[in-house]
Amino acid sequence: MIEIKKLNYSYKDKNNLYSNLSLTINQGNIVGLLGNNGAGKSTLLKLISGILLNKENTISTLDLNPNKRYAEMMEEIFFISEEIEFDKISIKKYVKAIAPYYKRFDKVLFDNIMNTFEINKDMVLTKISYGQKKKFFIALGLASNCRLLIFDEPTNGLDINSKKLFRQVMTGYLKENQLAIISTHQVKDIENIIDELAII
């Protein structure tokens, strides 16, 4: 599902962030991407998903070149960033606007996860806590039924009970034809649910 061959990448005027990085990840797994802050975890996730471009064309995502940002690839990727910003809109209206972009969006599944997280869909996104925003986006990602789910530091801002619920929904609702990549520097939050581990 994801294949990286000898990736070299650096930001302008800086040393290489990666040198000859190779990695293969198959579907049906929850993969933990671990590393210290600043190690390049977020950058790698953005390269895989096509948010950042890789001039060397050494990455294949869902059997396609993420540099091309093909529509059939982008509609199968849900990226949950560490930093989440929203306009002043209710959860209900946001979901109504975003759901049509995902052809297998499951409203029932979304409602179930939101109930698990105890979040009211009438709440306005700019008026809820950072942790609630994270939980909402986790629910949205799982309900999208995308083949590739990318979570960048999803447990940041979650309390102990919410982290437990996160692990429950990840193991309870992820399907065999999906791949979830979870980037974190807090390995204890995900060590019981990951199938494979990659360390940067």
- Please indicate, yes or no, if residue 21 is contained in any of the structural domains: no
- Number of separate domains in the chain: 1
| Residue 18 forms part of a structural domain | no
CATH of the domain at 169: 3.40.50.300
Residue at 11 is within a domain: no
How many CB atoms within 10 Å of residue 145? Answer: 19
As given in the structure block, the two tokens for residue 131 are 């942790």
> Which of 146, 143, 183 lies closest to 27 in space, CA to CA?
146
Q: Residue for token digits 């581990």?
A: 197
Residue 61 falls inside a structural domain: no
pLDDT in tens, 68-125: 999 999 999 999 998 888 888 999 999 999 999 999 999 999 999 999 999 999 999 9
Residue pair 160/130 in contact by the 8 Å Cβ criterion: no
Asked, for residue 34, whether it belongs to a domain, the answer is yes
Highest mean pLDDT among 1-10, 38-47, 103-112: 103-112
Residue 6: inside a domain: no
- Structural domain harbouring 183: 29-55+71-199
Look at residue 91 and tell me if it is in a domain: yes
> Does a structural domain hold residue 38?
yes
